[in-house]
A and B are shown apart, each in its own frame.
Chain A
Amino acid sequence: MKKILALIALSITTSLASLNALAHGPSPLKVDKSITIKAEPAKVWALIKDFGNMQKWHPAITNTKLEKKGEDTFRTLTLKDGGTIVEKLRGADDNDMKIRYEITSSQLPLTDYNSFMVVTKGAKPGETNVQWVGRFYRLYKLNPPIPAGQDDETALNVINGIFDSGLDGLQKAAESSK
Chain B
Amino acid sequence: MNRIRSIANIIVGICFEMVFAAAIVLWGLVICGVAFLIYR
A and B form one complex: no
